[in-house]
Chain A
Amino acid sequence: MTDENAATKSRLGLALFWIYVLLYGGFMGLVLVRPDLLSWRPFGGVNLAIAAGMGLIAAALVLAVVYMVARAGR
């Protein structure tokens, strides 16, 4: 990890990691503290509990692809 490039790269990975921690932690916080909000149905009749769960799965894939492309681009 002496390579300067590698350091920048791992900074990107860590930044994306913390973004996901916020998303995951935020959702679990909602489940723990304000579960009533999860019954809200703004998405064509689908409630926030399901929409957010699917969103977290999709977000993991999006961040992973962003990371892969960014690393391959250098």
Chain B
Amino acid sequence: MLHDTSTLAVAIFAGFVAAVLALSFWLGRKKQSAAAYYAAHGEVHWFVNGIAFAGDYLSAASFLGICGMIAFSGYDGFLYSIGFLAGWIVALFVIAEPIKALGRFTFADALDAKFNSRGIKMAVAISTLVVSVFYLIPQMVGAGSLITPLLGLPHAAGVILVGVAVTLIVVTAGMVSTTWVQFIKGSLLVLFCGVLTALILGRGLQVNAGRPGTENLAPQVRTVRPDGTVLVDGKPQSRDHDLRPVGTIARLPDRFAGKTATGPLRPLEYLAALEDSTIITWSARRHADAEGTHVTYSPVERKGADLLKPGGYFKGLNSGTLAGRLDFASLMLALFCGTASLPHILIRYYTVKDGAAARKSTVVGIAAIGVFYVLTLYLGLGAMTSGALDPTDTNMAAPLLAKSFSTTLFAVISAIAFTTVLGTVSGLIMAGSGAVAHDLVENVCGVRMTDHEKVRCGKIAAMGLGIVAMALGILFKNFNVSFLVGWAFNIAASANLPALVMLLFWPRTTKQGIIAAVTVGMVASLGWILLSADTFEKVYGLAREAAPMPFSQPGLVTIPLGFLVLIVVSLLTPPPAARPGNAG
């Protein structure tokens, strides 16, 4: 579908970026120490850090991706939410305080605290970079693909805009400005999702929402011809001849018989009424011939109760095959274990003053993120029945839902969706800059630097990463990259979690064990992903059946493998020298 772009959205976004950059320059006006650049002096208030966790963690994938998945496939998007949130339990109960107590600036600091080994620093710095880059690509490509429908600019403009803004944010005041950007973004995101949810409940459910008269339920065909032009139902696409927006209710529950709208509903009433309604979703079927590639969108009448149970997106759950179920179990394990192994999340623990503040900020983060995920369930279901969905683009579900209320709200949500990218990308660039400058240059290569030089080195690394991020965002333009976030979770969980957990709970852990576990976890999970059916189909364009791996998500195998490698290698190498105070 062609989307009207609003100048108001551009103005709101420009205003936000200008305000954030002004704040960054103001925060960065004084000469900085390395402790300020990497960890904001450890003086961030726990509440601010808690909301900044939400701003760091809730990426465009969380906001637009989950809303879209729920709007198109029903319940399964909520399973992602449940897994994403559960990971914070690992962070709070197992990881937070040791990370805070052991480390100073980076994840490698914490893992290496006991051994002071260059090998550990190098392995962990590389795994930090790999995870951060896998997480960066979908963010940058997302920025590019969102900017066209939201703000009316070309793909590269979105990528460069985000890249330059984020690099400036990080380079001016490092972790201090990154924290405030994430705090502002996290607050706005939760607040406006709350506003949208209130509007959804106020509107209730409507038959044939957004369209007067009887809805035209004929299938729609979108054709892309070899020369790149687009046809809709055989005629060239234009403002006057475009795909019709989709997603409506065909019948309300019996107790609303004879009515076309329920009126305002309470939160649980809304869900119950939706379960008893009949909803029209749209399926897509693709075929190609000499004329071009055709996608036919056809209406499918479905019971609300069927849309609100698992299996709409994770087809493997219904297939009855073991591989399909293992794939799902593996993803849920990776989400659970991955959060607490993501470097850009872990470094936020260095910005608060002590263990108590680390705990309190995690609780605030869990509250904000938990509320957000409950709200996105309503946003997704609201979009599903709003009559405003673009059948070709799941990412547009949340902004188009906002548009079904008012164009002003569309502008605000579009601008917020776009700024969402800023908060997460700045966290990732910060984590990568620490891995390059603090871990690799300073600690592995042993370059001696004054405090001032350390800051400069970090800033140069951040600029370099910003440029790499922009290049990747443009290079991967036509890739379907949404699943890269899942990869990042799998690699983080496989490479980092076993080492971290065993270091904390098994005194016999040796430095060789840690190096081996991080390396094997990273290589095995990455290798598995590159040989999986999903990658064969979506990246290489090969047949799914040709892939050698039995299922696509590696975590179920590679996380235990990391633990196993660590135990075996540790037992084969001499135990670490016993130190007084290490006995308990």
Contact = CB atoms under 8 A, between A and B. Distances in A.
B292 interface: no
B146 interface: no
B234 interface: no
Contacts of A72: 356
19 contacts: A1-B584, A13-B94, A20-B93, A27-B82, A38-B309, A41-B272, A44-B272, A47-B308, A49-B310, A50-B78, A50-B377, A53-B81, A57-B82, A57-B370, A60-B85, A60-B370, A67-B92, A67-B363, A71-B356
Given A44-B272, A46-B272, A60 B329 contact: no
A30 B88 CA distance: 22
Contacts of B81: 53, 57
Interface string A19-49: 0100010011001100100110101111101
Interface of B: 75, 78-79, 81-82, 85-86, 88-90, 92-94, 97, 268-269, 271-273, 275-276, 305, 308-311, 317, 325, 328-329, 332, 336, 356, 359-360, 362-363, 366-367, 370, 373-374, 377, 581-584
B275 A56 contact: no
Most buried by A among B86, B89, B329, B377: B89
B268 A43 contact: yes
Contacts of B276: 45
Q: 7 nearest interchain CB pairs? A: A45-B272, A17-B93, A13-B93, A57-B370, A64-B363, A20-B89, A2-B581
Nearest to A1: B584
Contact of B359 (A2, A50, A71): A71
B356 A56 contact: no
A65 B367 CA distance: 10
Contact of B329 (A32, A46, A50): A32
Contacts of B79: 31, 53
Given A24-B336, A28-B329, A64-B363, A49 B82 contact: no
Nearest to A23: B86
Contact of A35 (B85, B309, B374): B309
